[in-house]
């Protein structure tokens, strides 16, 4: 597995507007399923992905506050949508509009998570990047990971409160605003 050796190159890739990247994980976030689009776009083999933590594709330019929001939301049993910058095995970044849901068995017990990622509109990504850069800058000001994520989460909550919306409302506002960019 190449985790830890991947360095962002600065190059970006995309995937087809009609394609969907799909993965499933267990409750600890270890990948149990990866579709062909995920394998191709991530530049990992299926063997490298299966059993690996989903964070294998975490890009260092992705604010921790967004992941906290994601995990808090799905941990509470709700679905979440988020703009996410991922990092492929070859160091190339790729943006997605992620939809993550908890998965339950027939008895209602949580068994894991399902993630479907779609192509995001470039203009919406451009609108997200300044906020994510602010969150990363806030994280960089703090000496520990916990302090960094606490500070950037507080900043994210403040930005959203000032805008009078939730993250999901903010995200869908960007989607609607940039629908014509497809």
d(CA 168, CA 147): 24
Q: What's this model's pTM, rounded to 2 decimal places?
A: 0.92
Residue 182's pLDDT is what? 56
Beta pairing class for 80-87 and 31-34: unpaired
User: What's the sign of the alpha-carbon dihedral 149, 116, 118, 45?
Assistant: positive
- Residue 1 has a pLDDT of 45
Instruction: State the greatest distance between any 2 C-alpha atoms of the chain, in Å, as a whole number.
Output: 46
Q: Which residue has the tokens 């964070």?
A: 55
Query: For the packed helices 145-163 and 167-177, what is the interaxial angle rounded to 10 degrees?
Result: 60
Integer Cα distance of 81 and 61 in angstroms:
18
In tens digits, what is the pLDDT along the chain, a chain of 182 residues?
444 589 999 999 999 999 999 999 999 999 999 999 999 999 999 999 999 999 999 999 999 999 999 999 999 999 999 999 999 999 999 999 999 999 999 999 999 999 999 999 999 999 999 999 999 999 999 999 999 999 999 999 999 999 999 999 999 998 888 776 55
- Ordered by start, the domain boundaries in the chain are 20-181
- 20-181 is a CATH 3.30.450.20 domain: yes
**Helices 145-163, 64-75: inter-axial angle, 10-degree rounding:** 80
- pLDDT at res. 5: 81
């Amino acid at each position: 597995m190449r985790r830890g050796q991947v360095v962002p190159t600065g190059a970006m890739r995309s995937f087809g507007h009609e394609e969907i990247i799909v993965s499933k994980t267990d409750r600890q976030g270890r990948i149990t399923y990866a579709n062909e689009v995920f394998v191709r776009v991530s530049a990992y083999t299926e063997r490298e992905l299966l059993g690996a933590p989903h964070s294998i594709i975490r890009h260092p330019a992705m604010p921790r506050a967004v992941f906290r929001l994601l995990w808090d939301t799905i941990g509470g049993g709700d679905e979440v949508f988020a703009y996410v910058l991922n990092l492929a095995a070859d160091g190339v970044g790729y943006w997605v509009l992620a939809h993550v849901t908890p998965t339950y068995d027939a008895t209602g017990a949580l068994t894991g998570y399902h993630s479907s990622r779609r192509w995001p509109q470039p203009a919406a990504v451009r609108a997200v990047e300044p906020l994510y850069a602010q969150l990363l800058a806030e994280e960089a000001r703090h000496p520990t990971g916990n302090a960094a994520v606490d500070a950037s989460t507080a900043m994210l909550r403040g930005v959203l409160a000032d805008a009078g919306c939730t993250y999901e409302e903010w995200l869908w506002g960007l989607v609607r605003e940039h629908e014509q960019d497809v």
